[in-house]
Amino acid sequence: MTNETLNIWTHLLPFWFFAWRFVTALYMTDIKNDSYSWPMLVYMCTSCVYPLVSSCAHTFSSMSKNARHICYFLDYGAVNFFSLGSAIAYSAYTFPDALMGTTFHDYYVALAVLNTILSTGLSCYSRFLEIQKPRLCKVIRVLAFAYPYTWDSLPIFYRLFLFPGESAQNEATSYHQKHMIMTLLASFLYSAHLPERLAPGRFDYIGHSHQLFHVCVILATHMQMEAILLDKTLRKEWLLATSKPFSFSQIAGAILLCIIFSLSNIIYFSAALYRIPKPELHKKET
């Protein structure tokens, strides 16, 4: 039992739940002919990837000092891959009526791809600042995840807080609200290091902020998935009448660009670990 034990299990168990839902969706979908469902399948796939990679990162990060950094580089890449999956699903199913077919909608996924590449690079770079500039490291890392989330959520913000059209007023709205609340709570826990900062030593194994952060992120993903599935079902007739489903080349292109450039970032920063004198990067672990 270590401080990482529950970090591993709070993402490994949800991975199997999301994998079960993904496999079920695959079984029930005519993948070849139902292009309307492709964004949903991409999203559900990415929702399996990030908890699995996170669980592996927390499991194997203790192998060596460089392994720790490389594991979390991969973790950051997986989180950003999930961000792109969310953007693809949002673009396909959750955009409010007033924004459908606008320039914002046309370039929404393309800019989400760019965001994932930049965010992966920034979050990986932040690990090189842990020793000399820990506060700047934390700020950069939080911003690296906050701005892709903000971009992805702009259609939801518009839908919840401005003037949604009739087709967007459905049962999914309450799930979007719950998703937003859980995401904000997860962000707060990640940034504030509560409750362990109030009682050092008492939450080393159970109940520290990173475990609570994991739980909130998983709950947020579950709420998001329910919202997307409801939008996909309840708005299907309207969406098919007013917009064209994503083509295979559009989805595959976005995914491949994200994977290629994010992996390039990870490889570059992993190689950089071996070019830096050990005392600079490894004299303190966070």
Structure tokens of 106? Answer: 């046309």
Q: What are phi and psi of 55, to 5 degrees?
A: -60, -40
Instruction: Enter the DSSP assignment of 165.
Output: -
Beta-carbon contacts of residue 136 (< 8 Å; ≥ 6 apart) = 129
User: Is the backbone of residue 59 left (phi > 0), alpha (psi -120 to 50) or beta?
Assistant: alpha
Annotated binding site: 58, 210, 214
Span between the terminal Cα atoms of the chain, in Å: 19
Question: How far is Cα of residue 141 from the mean position of the Cα atoms in its chain?
Answer: 14
Biggest CA-to-CA distance, the chain: 61
DSSP string, 186-240: HHHHHHH-TTTTTSTTSSSSSS-HHHHHHHHHHHHHHHHHHHHHHHHHHTHHHHH
Annotated binding site for Zn(2+): 58, 210, 214
**Alpha-carbon span 238 to 253, nearest angstrom:** 26
Identify the sign of the CA torsion 73, 260, 144, 83: negative
**Omega before 195 cis (within 30°)?**
yes
